Structure 1
Amino acid sequence: MTDTPPDHLSIDPSSPYFDQPTLERGIGIRFKGVERTDVEEYSISESWIRVALGKKVDRRGRPLTIKLNGPVEAYFQDVAGATDGEDIQAD
């Protein structure tokens, strides 16, 4: 695994940019300097995120989204190779 998140990622399984292992690892998004937890899809190179528009859904039951433009920073929330809450102590 690399320490660089993908340029384009989506949480929608029908999207070509969906990547389950990356999503399981945990992605954090900072948009215009503010931490966002409601991002459905993002593109770093094109500088946009897509977020749900309230509780509105389309006729297929998927959330309606709006595209917001601005600087996007993506990062992994966990460190690669970190243990799951286990502390290693030297004796």
Structure 2
Amino acid sequence: MNKEEILEKSRMENKNQDERERAVAAQANTYGMLGMAVIFIILFLIRFFVKGGNAYDLFAMYFGFIAVSSIYRWKVLGGKAAAVSAVMMSVITVIWMVLYIIYG
């Protein structure tokens, strides 16, 4: 593959998007994840200290989000660390879901 073919392929892959839009989208995802973590912590504290109950469902949702994110990262970027993260987060999610089903 020569330089022109590579450039053409890159243009086709990035059609209707520029670098700035991709950077903003990546930042938006990061801020969204941070916001979700803050809301999760607040809900967990309310559930645990105010309402007096377990938070298995909250943990399952939160770790499920991280698991799906890790799986996508592994699929797109590959790598051993991403694979380990994806598997670990998926297993943790399943554990929280089972605990919710049993002790809910």
> Which protein is richer in strand relative to its size?
1
Query: TM-score, normalised on structure 2?
Result: 0.18
Based on CA coordinates, which of the two structures has the bigger radius of gyration?
2
> Which protein is richer in helix relative to its size?
2
Query: TM-score, normalised on structure 1?
Result: 0.20
Higher relative contact order structure (alpha carbons within 8 Å, sequence separation ≥ 6): 1
